[in-house]
Amino acid sequence: MKGAFNDRLSESSKRSGSRVVLALDFSGPHAGRLRAAEKVLTATKKEIAAVKMNHHLLLPFGLEGVRGLVRVCRRAGLPLIADLKVNDIESTNMNIADSLLAYGFDCFIANPFVGKEEGLGPVIERVHEKGGGVVLLVYMSHKGADEGYGLVTDSGKPLYRIFAERARDWGADGVVVSSKSPERIAEARKIVGKGCMIFSPGVGAQGGEPETGAGADYLIVGRSITEARDPAGAVRNLNGRR
């Protein structure tokens, strides 16, 4: 049912005193990525609220290959989010969701472009039945985000507002809105309410600041932590602790 993932994430956040979601987005030679990811995860697991994993690890290693990282998250009680920006027909989306949940992921990020009917609607219902979560993209953090998510439709609304409305109406667990766009975060909050979490990427390497993402529930941070000499210290700084 909806809320199970939110509850687990909230409990993890309270336990660690953190609103940072660690993005394990490692580049460089493939041979060293898993080892580097586990090192940073082990160093920061008591300081973070959750973990996000995307194509940097899932594409070269697959679900079987990241089992070790999943185990670390499980033992630490850290919710695990798959950032695959799921955007396909219902049957494919359903297979993605079932596979991710079966391999220990708690939630995944999806793109609302695909629509509800025979797209994401039934998938969200299935995931909630299994205690998982679905987060929808509303506004991304790269420079070209406004070229897509900012497009104004015939209704006079930009796509990001429509996507926030879809998150609310479809029963999504959260939305992704860039930390570099505090006004978009504020708009999204008015639309989705307090029951739908806002995850905000873009802090650090992409130019965003923790302060500009203050209206979000959670900050998604990668390189500012993974490339730091002291990853745990970097997380503490993001959480306002020294």
List active site positions. 85
Residue 32, helix vs strand vs coil: helix
> In the chain, which ranges are continuous DSSP H helix?
4-16, 33-44, 55-65, 67-76, 90-102, 121-129, 145-148, 159-170, 182-192, 223-226, 231-238
Q: Find how far residue 138's CA is from the centre of its chain.
A: 12
- Alpha-carbon distance 137 to 140, whole Å? 7
Spell out the residues 6+ positions from residue 83 whose beta carbon is closer than 8 angstroms to its own.
23, 52, 53, 54, 55, 108, 109
The single-letter code of the amino acid at 81 is I
Q: Please tell me the number of Cα atoms within 13 Å of 149 on its side-chain side.
A: 23
Token output for 192: 């989705």
Tokens of 23: 């993005």
Closest CA to 203 of 20, 11, 4: 20
Burial environment of residue 229 by CB neighbours within 10 A (0 to 12, 13 to 18, 19 or more): exposed
